[in-house]
Amino acid sequence: MSTIVLLLSNIWAKKARSFGLAFAVALAVMTVVVLTVVSSGLESSAAAILKIGKSDFTVAQKNVSDVLFSYLDTHQLAEVRATKGVANAVGALIETERINAANPLFLEIGLPLDELTPFGVHVLAGRPYSANATHEVMLGWRAAEDMGLHVGDGFYANGTKNTIVGIYSTGISFGDLGAIFPLSAVQAYNRVPGAVTLVFVKVAPGYRIGEVEKRITYAHPELTTIRTVTQFGRADRNLVFLKAAATGSTILAVVIGAIVVGNTMMLSLFERTREFGLLRAIGWTRTRVVSLLLGEGMVLAVVGAAVGVGLSYLVTSILQALPQLAGVLHSNYTSEAFWRGLYTGLGMTILGTLYPALRAGFLAPLQALSHE
Amino acid sequence: MNEHHAIAPTLSSQDIEPTGIPVQGGHISALTSESRSNVEKGYASLAIEVIGVTKEFDGGAVRALNGMDLRVERGEFIAIMGPSGCGKSTLLHLLAALDSPTSGTIRVEGQDLSHLPDPSRYRRQTIGLVFQLHNLLPRLSALANIEVAMMGSHRPHRERTVWARQLLSELDLADRERRHPPQLSGGERQRVAIARALANDPPVLLVDEPTGNLDSDASANVLALFARLQREYGVTTVMVTHDPAVAQAAGRILQMRDGRIGDPIGA
């Protein structure tokens, strides 16, 4: 009999307890994975806005609670455009609106007609809107497909009925799920004349992106630049709070899980005291006894982690299907989520098992053998 | 008759590891031949030496052993008798390095138990323990109970299994290897426990009331087994018992009284 067979037979001998422990690990892992994939989904959705413009970086107002609350006026936009090294800077007013139950956060972008091409917009059907049109809209091809709309159809948004004059593609799926309006129309509807939410900057050849970013933030301390998803928190504080909450919940799940695992393992220790005493009496080293208990915990942790990841799929699917959350929650299964789940399972099991395992290893064989 | 083959009657070429070492155990082969040699030489050297050992409990309120002296030759089978509480089990625990004396010196196979670098290794390699209540792990098969004792030894896994099977076979338990302790009779359980004690090929067996829970037939079988182990393989055996009939199986019977060994009762 190998050590692993002994370990598995020990686990199998106490099926109910082993199942309970693995389930506790699974619940903790599920919680962590769900929080991770949901926050990651929200982050990637939010950050997807940055990718639409196909720019080198984006300029936003610093430290706003939500990046869509960022506000840059005409003067700031002009100064960004005039910054040395900036080849092109497109100011866009971005908002979200509830269109229907399936589209509770529909993306709406206000862009000047002459900025459509620099922004990476390709008209697939129909035509671009007129420069100062007030009731014209271009629909992203994914959105049009999802809603079954075509050129010439009406589209109720921005407080009015608009006519779909064109279907576009940006090459970015998030952008193709929205609509683009003339900038002036969106500014008028939101009563923010001359304002834009974000400025999408393309750096001129021969200039380093970092240097241009520095020039802008030096000249405008109230602004920040975002180049990567991880920099998104510079502008969007909500995302920072959300990620902090996810991290805090992970730590909490590990601690609670470790307590549950520790409690179960302590029960196991008391039940198996004679066994450990016997093993020590017939020549097992302390290390081997500790390893046995840790090994049992690790096997259950891995099983629990696998079940937890499976459960997380189920839970996120259910959450996404809920009417209240449809279109808001987007799960983003990354390798980080899986690793975090595995680390959580192993971490809480090691934390919970270490003390009982050490107690088992350091039992005095004689006292342990006389344990009732 | 080759005594070595008596304990491993069917050691075949299939049982030879690629290294060329017989799986039945180079160690046990060496041990048994050395032990046989000791038997032939008339117990030339000491297996156990207890010198002035005192063991106190409760801060000196209870003195279980009181300046005890004991010498056991290699290959000897001795029985230590005495009433309950006379210190028999305490002595056995000290010999097994499960406890340490308050004062005095204990040497087993030349090792001073007060200065053991690794007591676990000592318990694994030098002694085999047989308890009154067999202490088998109920969820493991008879075979696995023996193999567990070998975990931590340098024997490869496959070799451990082969050797455990051979031990079971030698103790007439070959057809019981898959049975779990609750499925075995009292005598069978105790024989599995003896096989486990022999698993690491120890030169010394320490036996605590081995027939305490057995009927007379099973007791006789177990005692005959100890006698055979001593006679044929030269295993030094120290058995503690309160039963004079059980003690008769030993070659030397010692009486314990007031924490000391008295004069031999018989030989």
End-to-end CA distance of chain A: 28
Query: Tokens 């308050």 identify what position?
Result: B102
Contact B151 A6 (CB under 8 A): yes
Q: Is residue A178 part of a domain?
A: yes
Give B81's strand partners.
B241, B255
Among chain A residues, the shortest Cα distance to B160 is held by A1
Question: What local confidence, expressed as pLDDT, does residue A334 receive?
Answer: 81
Q: Is residue A50 part of a domain?
A: no
Q: Across the 372 residues of chain A, what is the mean pLDDT of every consecutive 10-residue run?
A: 86 89 91 85 73 84 84 92 93 88 85 89 93 90 93 89 93 87 90 90 93 94 85 72 83 87 90 92 93 92 92 89 73 82 88 93 89 72
Is residue A28 exposed (0-12), middle (13-18) or buried (19+ Cβ within 10 Å)? buried
Catalogue the E-assigned strands of A98-204: 106-111, 122-126, 136-140, 154-157, 160-169, 179-182, 198-203
Q: Is residue B85 part of a domain?
A: no
Query: Tokens 């430290």 identify what position?
Result: A63
- Interface list for A 307-366 with B (CB within 8 A): 365-366
Tell me how many residue pairs between chain A and chain B have CB atoms under 8 A apart: 63
Question: Where is average pLDDT lowest: A38-42, B40-44, B52-56?
Answer: B40-44
From B93's Cα to the closest Cα of chain A, the distance in A is 8
- The answer, for A4 touching chain B at a CB cutoff of 8 Å, is no
Domain span at A21: 3-45+240-369
Do both A99 and A185 map to the same domain? Answer: yes
Residue B27, pLDDT > 50, answer: no
From A262's Cα to the closest Cα of chain B, the distance in A is 23
From B211's Cα to the closest Cα of chain A, the distance in A is 19
- The answer, for B93 touching chain A at a CB cutoff of 8 Å, is yes
Do both A95 and A191 map to the same domain? Answer: yes
Do both A94 and A214 map to the same domain? Answer: yes
Q: Is residue A71 part of a domain?
A: yes
Question: What local confidence, expressed as pLDDT, does residue A220 receive?
Answer: 93
Domain span at B179: 136-201
Nearest to B238 by CA among B91, B56, B65: B91
DSSP A10-30: HHHHTHHHHHHHHHHHHHHHH
Higher pLDDT, A5 or B22: A5
Q: Is residue B187 part of a domain?
A: yes
Do both A119 and A210 map to the same domain? Answer: yes
Q: Is residue B149 part of a domain?
A: yes
Do both A181 and A206 map to the same domain? Answer: yes
Question: What local confidence, expressed as pLDDT, does residue B232 receive?
Answer: 82
- Residues A304 and A348: beta-carbon distance below 8 Å: no
Q: Is residue A232 part of a domain?
A: no
Do both A320 and A196 map to the same domain? Answer: no
Do both A364 and A327 map to the same domain? Answer: yes
- The answer, for B134 touching chain A at a CB cutoff of 8 Å, is no
Question: What local confidence, expressed as pLDDT, does residue A328 receive?
Answer: 67
Q: Is residue B143 part of a domain?
A: yes
From A280's Cα to the closest Cα of chain B, the distance in A is 7
Question: What local confidence, expressed as pLDDT, does residue B37 receive?
Answer: 45
Q: Is residue A51 part of a domain?
A: no
Do both A111 and A85 map to the same domain? Answer: yes
Question: What local confidence, expressed as pLDDT, does residue A141 receive?
Answer: 93
User: For A288, which of B93, B140, B152 is closest by C-beta distance?
Assistant: B152
Q: Is residue B184 part of a domain?
A: yes
- Number of separate domains in chain A: 2
Question: What local confidence, expressed as pLDDT, does residue A327 receive?
Answer: 65
Do both A143 and A273 map to the same domain? Answer: no
Question: What local confidence, expressed as pLDDT, does residue B93 receive?
Answer: 93
Radius of gyration in angstroms for the set of CA atoms belonging to chain A, rounded to a whole number? 29
Do both A197 and A318 map to the same domain? Answer: no
Do both A132 and A20 map to the same domain? Answer: no
Question: What local confidence, expressed as pLDDT, does residue A13 receive?
Answer: 87
Question: What local confidence, expressed as pLDDT, does residue B265 receive?
Answer: 59
Q: Is residue B238 part of a domain?
A: no
Q: What percent of chain B has pLDDT over 90?
A: 43
User: For B152, which of A1, A10, A285 is closest by C-beta distance?
Assistant: A285
Checking phi first, is residue B234 left (phi over 0); if not, alpha (psi -120 to 50) or beta?
left
Distance CA B13, CA B10 (A): 10
Question: Which of A5, A6, A282 should one mutate to test binding to chain B, selecting the residue with the greatest count of B CBs within 10 A?
Answer: A282
Contact A282 B144 (CB under 8 A): no
Q: Which residues of B touch A283 (CB under 8 A)?
A: 120-121, 123-125, 149, 152, 200
Q: Is residue B210 part of a domain?
A: no
Distance CA B44, CA B31 (A): 15
Do both A190 and A320 map to the same domain? Answer: no
Work out the mean pLDDT of chain B and round it to a whole number: 80
Residue B94, pLDDT > 90, answer: yes
What torsion, rounded to 10 degrees, do the Cα atoms A130, A132, A137, A140 define? 70
Q: Strands of B236-241's sheet, edge to edge? A: B127-130, B204-208, B236-241, B77-81, B252-257, B260-266
